[in-house]
């Protein structure tokens, strides 16, 4: 009799626990779904102000696809021109024609083909505020990568000629997996993955890199949700490039380099 | 049908009634212990099922949070481009005016953007791949391998540090010399464990090591030839850009003082 009471007690606890977990998951999902809406509102407030101030005919024009396409093009060109005025190395990502360029002072010094694109709905949509946001270049604030930005090697100077050893030929055949994230203004993240997944190491590396990023994001979302705050949403652009191009771009772009995006 | 019954009989295996009290007692204990074993294995299986179920449940939650929730994020935001069917708007003077202004802006920006690429000769150096690209009139006229900075950090016991890195960004040709001689800097002695001679010591001068030509790009960095041709295509230099003799000659003859050098 006692064991049966114990068993049913356990059962109830178990069911309650599952219920709590499910309720939390639902709450987490709802809060997560709200985060992009809040992000869009933030962008709208920053770039357009109150949308209701625009009259109806203006709003109708802003919905026209031809007009919006041209606006996007203008925003991209404006962004590139701003960057061209600097002497720095910068990136221009044109998702419409699947190309990514390294540019210096307006001169395209390297071109690469994007083979796969996955973009956040916020960025792919044609909201006027997003277009305004795209007309100024983004600045990289943080980057996470599987390769070093500058693979500097330390060499201690020999005390005399007897200690001197000539440099050995560097091994350029090493093909390390290249995956990285560039975080820019407004929490936008640009994910660059190498296209080649021929080796098991490449697949594992990409999986580990991806899962690490997901865990970090989930952890920060959980922290926000724990204090009843809507978690931060990071609009994203995920692209796949040939490994060589991905590496060239990561090594070329300065730590706080600029990026123009055409969606 | 017969077989089925045999199987049924063997699996159910009900014990025949025994009238002997000792045997009855014994069979009772047997059946009780059998039941206990049965209940034990049942509860074990139940335990395993609960354990597996819990693990599956936790896994499902993790997968949901890590993979499904980010996908759910994409359900709400954004607005699809709507094609205006209202011909009133399309034909309105305001719309036409705005479209024309936009087109003019785009034309103006495109022209300005294209103007950045010089029609004159310039060279592009890719330090990751150790390759160069020579352009004239916006057309690629020569490409090939070069050697750039090794990214080696040379450190002395006294804490003096040099990083052998090719400078990146936009530079320009500041000087051109045929048959250049190299004035060895301090690091070149320190690197070999040699004593550093005074600044203007004749032992600092070496000829023939820079090839037939050298083009200065500022801050002591040069585009020059090399005696280590097998290293072309590799990052082995102290910051200069090394080329083979033929490429160097073409570049020397194509680029002028003031020509742009883009290094990335």
CATH number for the domain running over A2-262: 2.40.440.10
Q: Which of A50-59, A112-121, A188-197, B123-132 has the lowest mean pLDDT?
A: A50-59
Distance from the Cα of B75 to chain A's closest Cα (Å) equals 7
What confidence score (pLDDT) does residue B14 get? Answer: 47
Q: Using 50, 70 and 90 to split pLDDT, how confident is the model at A91?
A: very high
Q: Using 50, 70 and 90 to split pLDDT, how confident is the model at B60?
A: very high
What confidence score (pLDDT) does residue B168 get? Answer: 96
Distance from C-alpha of A167 to C-alpha of B108, rounded to nearest angstrom: 52
Partner residue facing B154 (CB), from A155, A163, A169: A155
Listed by start position, the domains of chain A span 2-262
Q: Using 50, 70 and 90 to split pLDDT, how confident is the model at B1?
A: very low
Please state the ipTM of this predicted complex: 0.87
Please give the mean pLDDT across all residues of chain A. 89
CATH number for the domain running over B122-263: 2.40.440.10
CA A230 vs. chain centroid, Å, equals: 20
The larger pLDDT score, comparing residue B169 to residue B1, is at B169
Query: For the segment A11-61, what is each residue's pLDDT rounded down to a tens digit?
Result: 888 889 889 989 998 999 899 889 999 999 899 888 876 555 556 777 777
Mean pLDDT of A60-80: 87
Contact A36 B122 (CB under 8 A): no
Q: Which of A13-27, A53-67, B111-125, B184-198 has the lowest mean pLDDT?
A: A53-67
What confidence score (pLDDT) does residue B15 get? Answer: 46
Query: For the segment A186-200, what is each residue's pLDDT rounded down to a tens digit?
Result: 999 999 999 987 788
What confidence score (pLDDT) does residue B30 get? Answer: 62
Distance from C-alpha of A61 to C-alpha of A57, rounded to nearest angstrom: 6
Does B196 contact chain A (CB < 8 Å)?
no
As a whole number of angstroms, the longest Cα–Cα distance in chain A is: 90
Distance from the Cα of A126 to chain B's closest Cα (Å) equals 6
What confidence score (pLDDT) does residue A132 get? Answer: 87
CB atoms within 10 A of CB B24: 12
Helix pair angle (A2-47, B21-63), 10° resolution: 10
Q: Which of B65, B4, B162 is nearest to A32 (CA)?
A: B65
């Amino acid at each position: 009799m006692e064991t049966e009471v114990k068993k049913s007690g356990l059962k109830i606890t178990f069911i309650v626990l599952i219920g709590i977990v499910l309720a939390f998951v639902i709450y987490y999902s709802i809060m997560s779904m709200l985060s992009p809406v809040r992000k869009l509102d933030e962008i709208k407030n920053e770039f357009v102000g109150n949308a209701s101030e625009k009259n109806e005919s203006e709003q109708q024009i802003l919905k026209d696809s031809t007009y919006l396409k041209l606006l996007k093009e203008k925003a991209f060109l404006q962004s590139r021109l701003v960057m061209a005025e600097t002497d720095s190395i910068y990136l221009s990502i044109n998702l419409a024609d699947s190309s990514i360029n390294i540019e210096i002072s307006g001169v395209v010094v390297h071109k690469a083909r994007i083979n796969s694109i996955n973009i956040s709905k916020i960025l792919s949509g044609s909201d006027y505020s997003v277009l305004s946001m795209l007309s100024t270049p983004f600045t990289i604030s943080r980057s996470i990568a599987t390769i070093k930005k500058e693979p500097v090697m330390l060499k201690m100077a020999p005390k005399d000629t007897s200690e001197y050893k000539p440099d050995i030929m560097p091994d350029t055949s090493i093909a390390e997996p290249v995956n990285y994230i560039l975080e820019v203004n407004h929490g936008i993240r640009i994910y660059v993955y190498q296209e080649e997944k021929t080796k098991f190491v490449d697949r594992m590396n990409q999986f580990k890199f991806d899962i690490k990023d997901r865990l970090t994001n989930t952890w920060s979302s959980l922290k926000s949700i724990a204090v009843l705050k809507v978690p931060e949403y990071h609009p994203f652009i995920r692209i796949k490039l040939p490994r060589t191009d991905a590496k060239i771009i990561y090594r070329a772009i300065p730590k706080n380099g600029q990026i123009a995006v055409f969606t | 049908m017969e077989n089925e019954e045999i199987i049924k009989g063997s699996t159910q295996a009900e014990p025949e009634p025994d009238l002997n009290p000792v045997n009855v007692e014994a069979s009772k204990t047997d059946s009780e212990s059998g039941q206990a074993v049965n209940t034990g294995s049942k509860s074990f299986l139940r335990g395993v099922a609960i354990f597996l179920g819990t693990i599956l449940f936790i896994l499902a939650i993790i997968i949901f949070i890590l993979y499904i929730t980010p996908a759910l994020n994409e359900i709400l935001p954004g607005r699809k481009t709507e094609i205006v069917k209202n011909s009133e708007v399309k034909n309105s003077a305001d719309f036409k005016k705005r479209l024309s202004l936009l087109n003019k802006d785009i034309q103006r920006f495109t022209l300005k953007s294209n103007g950045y690429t010089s029609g004159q000769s310039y060279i592009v150096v890719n330090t990751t791949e150790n390759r160069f690209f020579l352009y004239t009139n916006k057309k690629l006229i020569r490409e090939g391998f070069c050697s750039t900075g090794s990214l080696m950090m040379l450190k002395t016991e006294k804490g003096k540090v040099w990083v052998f890195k090719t400078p990146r960004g936009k530079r320009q040709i500041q000087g051109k010399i045929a048959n250049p001689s190299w004035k060895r800097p301090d690091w070149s002695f320190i690197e070999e464990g040699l004593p550093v001679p005074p600044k203007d010591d004749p032992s600092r001068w070496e000829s023939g090591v820079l090839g037939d030509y050298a083009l200065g790009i500022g801050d002591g960095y040069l585009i020059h030839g090399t005696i280590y041709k097998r290293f072309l295509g590799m990052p082995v230099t102290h910051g200069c850009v090394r080329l083979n003799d033929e490429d160097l000659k073409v570049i020397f003859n194509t680029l002028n003082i003031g020509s742009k050098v883009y290094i990335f």
